[in-house]
Amino acid sequence: MDINQVAQMAGVSRATVSRYFNDGYVSQEKRAAIARVVEETGYVPSRQAKTLRTGKSGLVGIIIPKINSASVSRMVAGITGVLNEVGYQALLANTDNDAAREVSFLRLFSERSKVDGVILMATVLTPAHDAAIAALPVPLVVLSQKLEGRSCVYQDEYGALRALTERVLSAGDRPAYIGVLEEDVAAGRRRREGFLAGCAARGVAVEEGACVIADFSIESGYAACERLMERGVSFDTLVCATDSIAYGAMACLADRGIAVPADVQVAAVGDSDISQVVTPSLTSVHYHYKTSGAEAARMLAESMADEDAVAREIKMGYDVVVRDSTRQKRM
């Protein structure tokens, strides 16, 4: 069943049928005739052909570092919600934390414009990324990192960590920090800087060696905490770059008979569902991930609709959620 058959059955030209589905520049009678035929046959225009002809696929590519992550999946949920609303489909590209694959997906999406737009959930931004981004023939929105001159939506990592740190240091004065790789500017560098700023604001010195690195896993959080103790760092306050790291660290402390929050208070970032169920419940920064995703999708939709929409940067707000893993009173 194609447009020609519909045209024939309705006694019009195929151009008229096309108009019926698009502009709508069709007389009442012909319109009715076509409507009837469409009704009877259940005809639906071929997206493929339309795509070939118009160059628009109705697809949006989403590049994500890891689907199996609370923050990422919340952002994706926000994205797909908005996208479906405005008639786009999400094309998912999972890189499994491999920055090189990020670039190759960017290229894949560039080839002959298979997609109408791209959302890049970035971890690191290398020169290869810049090149691939520059070569992208369709609108792009960067999520989770700030990229100068590009539309992007990101969290206020610095502000959040600074606020969190100041807060917990109202009941502690020997801080330690478990972060992630600095190459990840947002989660690595900015969070650590925020932590240090918070310490400085409180006039608290950070002991040499009191900042260690983990990856995003629970196990590495455990290991990092162990390292801290082996180094002989003395701390009564532990700030972690992610909730997962904190879970690992808390397990490590528990195994050594160190009480949380009495001996060491723990705070982190991400506020995943389970942070309120672990014991003690975890003080954590809450980011509006789902909203961030929705926001990014909305910006992209705008850029796709309007050729020369101007780039915008959105810095999202945050909430510090105080729970039982820290000593200061809830405010």
Partner DNA sequence: TTGTAAGCGTTATCAA
Partner DNA sequence: TTGATAACGCTTACAA
Shortest Å distance, C-beta 69 to a copy of itself = 7
**Binding string, 19-48, against a copy of itself, x = CB under 8 A?**
-------------------------xxxxx
For β-strands 89-94 and 237-240, DSSP reports them as: unpaired
Nearest CA among 238, 293, 290, 292 for reference residue 269: 238
Shortest Å distance, C-beta 107 to a copy of itself = 9
**Binding string, 216-255, against a copy of itself, x = CB under 8 A?**
--x-------------------------x--xx-xx--x-
**Binding string, 17-46, against DNA, x = CB under 7 A?**
-xx-xxx-xxx-xx------------x-xx
171 Cβ contact partners less than 8 Å away, ≥ 6 residues apart: 237, 265, 326, 327, 328
Please say which residue, 207 or 226, places its beta carbon nearer to a copy of itself.
226
Residue 52 binding a copy of itself, by CB under 8 A? yes
Please say which residue, 112 or 330, places its beta carbon nearer to DNA.
112
- Taking the C-alpha atoms of residue 221 and residue 224, their distance in angstroms, rounded to an integer, is 5
Q: Which of 9, 12, 122, 136 binds DNA (CB under 7 A)?
A: 12
The region of 24-32, 50-58, 184-192, 201-209 touching a copy of itself under the rule CB under 8 A is 50-58
Nearest CA among 103, 97, 106, 105 for reference residue 128: 103
- Taking the C-alpha atoms of residue 330 and residue 319, their distance in angstroms, rounded to an integer, is 13
The region of 18-26, 91-99, 166-174, 315-323 touching a copy of itself under the rule CB under 8 A is 91-99
- Taking the C-alpha atoms of residue 240 and residue 219, their distance in angstroms, rounded to an integer, is 13
The region of 161-169, 193-201, 274-282, 296-304 touching a copy of itself under the rule CB under 8 A is 274-282
Q: What one-character-per-residue DSSP string does 163-208 give?
A: HHHHHHGGG-S-EEEEE--TTSIIIIIIHHHHHHHHHHHHTPPPPT
Q: Which does 209 bind (CB under 5 to 8 A by kind): a copy of itself, DNA, none?
A: none
Indicate the helix (H) or strand (E) that contains 239. strand 237-240
The region of 84-92, 154-162, 175-183, 310-318 touching a copy of itself under the rule CB under 8 A is 84-92
Please say which residue, 12 or 133, places its beta carbon nearer to DNA.
12
Q: Which of 35, 100, 131, 274 binds a copy of itself (CB under 8 A)?
A: 274
Shortest Å distance, C-beta 155 to a copy of itself = 18
- Taking the C-alpha atoms of residue 213 and residue 224, their distance in angstroms, rounded to an integer, is 7
Residue 321 binding a copy of itself, by CB under 8 A? no
Residue 276 binding DNA, by CB under 7 A? no
Residues pairing with 175 in the sheet: 237
- Taking the C-alpha atoms of residue 31 and residue 24, their distance in angstroms, rounded to an integer, is 9
Cα angle 203-182-324, degrees, rounded to a multiple of 5: 55
- Taking the C-alpha atoms of residue 158 and residue 322, their distance in angstroms, rounded to an integer, is 18
Helices (H), the chain: 3-10, 14-21, 28-41, 47-54, 70-85, 99-110, 127-135, 157-168, 191-202, 218-230, 243-255, 289-305
Interface with a copy of itself (CB under 8 A)? 44-49, 51-52, 57, 59, 62, 66-70, 73-74, 76-77, 80-81, 84, 89-94, 96, 108, 111-112, 114, 218, 244, 247-248, 250-251, 254, 273-274, 276-279
Interface with DNA (CB under 7 A)? 2-4, 11-16, 18-19, 21-23, 25-27, 29-30, 43, 45-46, 48-50, 52-54, 112
